[in-house]
Amino acid sequence: MNTITNSPETLRAAMVDNVKAAGHATSPAVEQTMRSVPRHKFVPEASIEDAYADIAVITKSASDGSALSCASVPTIVAMMLDQLQVQPGNRILEIGAGTGYNAALLAQLTGPGGAVTTVDIDAEVTAGARRGLDATGNEHVDVITRDGSLAAAENAPYDRIIFTVGAWDLTPEFWQQLAPGGRLVVPLRWRGQTRSVAFVRDGDALVSDSMDLCGFVPMLGQEGERSGTIDTGDLVTLFWDIDQTIDTEKLSGVLDQPKEVAWSGVTVGPYDSFDGIWLRISGTDSRTCRIATDKAAVEAKLCTPAIAVRSPALAEDDSLAYLAIRKAGDGTHELGAIGHGPYGHALAGQLCDETKAWNKDREALPALRLYPAGTPNSAFKFDSDIFFGQVIEKTTSRLMISVS
């Protein structure tokens, strides 16, 4: 083996170059930090090549093979650090200790005048993070074993809070412990999708200023999402939130009913993302959910969503429609929708209308505001250019999504 070519330093430099090429680590501080912190020392059981590849390194799995803890993909790490905008001297709370690598990055970003606390519910995970941090000269990072939903009042208030686990809800502790004007970055889940959202605190509201598509190991103990299959072979699953009235018993067998197919006329290239359709429709239609289809259902043409494992859908009573895609013949693909049931045609048409609206400004993002549960509607702030809005009722918070 060529020890020079495959040295940690060379591979780390290549990793950061790749992160930069992907459009992340835009801050010079984030770039320099990622170039200096040795990621391989936090994943000692992985090969040097895997430690610096743009992949998630799984460090703990459940009995069914699902990931319980990992070192996140470097491009996602950089993306979220860009969103967090750490300043020297910041007090920082991290929810989800992982390997300790992200806490080490945070410690370098905030410097000797700041402080970093990282929390995880799993004692085995925090022990591993502690070892990695100690081995890299980060003994000053406070590692706490605790349910992350409780945060860490002993070191509050925090100028910055970052989640490295997926969260469906935010508990009151985060309003109590985030300083006025502080920033909170969280992979937030709603209507079946996950976005890394950067919020800035404005009084009792958390107001978004950026969001990016992502996926994370879910936070334990949050039961706000429901799921159920809608076919006899249990190959097609819907995912929805507890504030929705979706009933999979009513939808059972709906895919056996005739298809209502509609096409939008909107085309995408091979590298074009169209996840913005899902993001937009979650702010305009309370029936939005996620559909996931097993490969066997796709091959049998029982259910053929645009992306088999995750596509937006609309569900109402005993009817359903989901986003679909077909070849356009010129290297592009056309987006449309397939509906089933009495309202299938109307639901498919609605999805096409949303696709056309998204196509007018593909970069547009909705505005998100997160409030504590119990906040009256009269306290919600709408901008003058807001055309549509939805309020999603979570357990301990209320999420307002508004689309212009």
Question: 339 with 364: CB under 8 angstroms?
Answer: no
Question: 256 with 233: CB under 8 angstroms?
Answer: no
- Longest CA pairwise span in the chain (Å): 66
148, 149, 152, 156: CA torsion to nearest 10: 130
Parallel, antiparallel, or unpaired: how do β-strands 178-190 and 91-95 relate?
unpaired
54, 57, 63, 68: CA torsion to nearest 10: -90
CA distance 177 to 370: 15
Collapse the DSSP code of 31 into the 3-class scheme (helix H, G, I; strand E, B; otherwise coil) and give the result: helix
Listed as own residue / partner, the contacts of 377-381 with beta carbons closer than 8 Å and 24 or more positions apart are: 379/204, 381/205
The CB density around residue 56, as the number of other CB atoms within 10 Å, is: 19
392 Cβ contact partners less than 8 Å away, ≥ 6 residues apart: 190, 191, 241, 243, 282, 398, 399, 400, 401
Question: 240 with 192: CB under 8 angstroms?
Answer: yes
**Residue linked to tokens 């409780």:** 150
Cis peptide before 38 (omega within 30 of 0): no
**Residue linked to tokens 């018993």:** 249
CA distance 141 to 209: 28
Task: Supply the residues annotated as catalytic.
Answer: 69
The sheet with strand 236-241 has its strands ordered as 225-229, 236-241, 288-293, 311-316, 319-327, 333-340, 260-268
Side-chain half-sphere CA neighbours of 365 within 13 A: 13
Collapse the DSSP code of 157 into the 3-class scheme (helix H, G, I; strand E, B; otherwise coil) and give the result: coil
CA distance 320 to 341: 7
CA distance 8 to 15: 10
Q: In this structure, what DSSP letter does residue 71 have?
A: E
